[in-house]
Structure 1
Amino acid sequence: MTGSRVRIAVADAPAAGEVRLVELDSHTIGLYRVGDRYYAVADRCPHRGAPLCSAGRVVRGITLEHGNPTRGAALGLLRCPWHKWDFDIATGRCLVQPRLRVRRYRVEHDGDDLIITLQHPAPEAAAASEPDRLALTP
């Protein structure tokens, strides 16, 4: 089964820490760059439906890798504007309620373009390899 797709030139993609909103089949999707990777997430907080990408913001946080805390701007945490809950952009997982996840979409490189596919969430295997993140932000 193939889903609806949108193609975006890498040159038009957001810089690190910024968002580019994309409309696809009446869905608003936020495209983010974290380091050298791109992530696409739904513009809807799974907690209460707040506009997560269009009104939320990327925040700094602390990641714990092998018990060692590291602070940085490239951690990819999205903060909901309504209740200030943080979501990991890479995994979609909410740091306050880990069972809640923001919907993610597959992002693929195709030459000088990025392709976002609507109906296929990103593989969960990537989530298993990501370190747990703890949102301690200014």
Structure 2
Amino acid sequence: MTRHVVGAVEEFEEGGGRAVEVDGLPIAIFNVEGEFHAISNRCVHKGGPLGKGVLHSDLPSIDEDRNSVHCPWHFWEFDLETGRSVVDDRVGLRTFDVSVDGDEVVVDL
């Protein structure tokens, strides 16, 4: 695996997502209460930018314990840890190992 610094921790707003490109791969990085997740930035449905998606915990009257993102285009929902669709686990996105090293966010490919 190769480690890639994708930015400083402070550049990733808590409760939000941000798109980055690593070795030509579009990746969405999410900061959920200081825990980082990385998945493909392209929704499998129509290619929507998941880095601009809505986190599950930001939606009213929904279980806040689920770490997932809704695509901003058609609201498909994906688990941030597994990349699997919440509705149909046969559908999923690639996930990436992401960590914090000092004040930098690092993705491993």
Unaligned runs of 5+ residues in structure 2 are none
The structure 1 segments of at least 4 consecutive aligned residues displaced by more than 6 Å after TM superposition are: none
Asked if the contact 1:32/1:40 (under 8 Å) is kept, the reply is yes
TM-score with structure 2 setting the length:
0.78
TM-score with structure 1 setting the length:
0.64
Q: Tell me the equivalent position of 1:56.
A: 53
After TM superposition, give the deviation of residue 4 of structure 1 in Å: 5.7
Q: Tell me the equivalent position of 1:71.
A: 63
In structure 2, what is the Cα distance between the partners aligned to 1:44 and 1:111? Answer: 29
After TM superposition, give the deviation of residue 30 of structure 1 in Å: 1.0
Q: Tell me the equivalent position of 2:105.
A: 114
Over the aligned positions, Cα root-mean-square deviation in angstroms equals 2.5
In structure 1, what is the Cα distance between the partners aligned to 2:93 and 2:79? Answer: 9
After TM superposition, give the deviation of residue 43 of structure 1 in Å: 0.8
Q: Tell me the equivalent position of 1:13.
A: 12
Matched residue pairs, number?
A: 107
- Where do 1:1-138 residues align within 5 Å? 2-3=1-2, 5-16=4-15, 18-46=16-44, 48-60=45-57, 71-72=63-64, 75-117=66-108, 119=109
After TM superposition, give the deviation of residue 52 of structure 1 in Å: 3.7
Structure 1 residues 75 and 49, CA, compared in 2 at 3 Å: closer, same or farther? same
Unaligned runs of 5+ residues in structure 1 are 62-69, 120-138
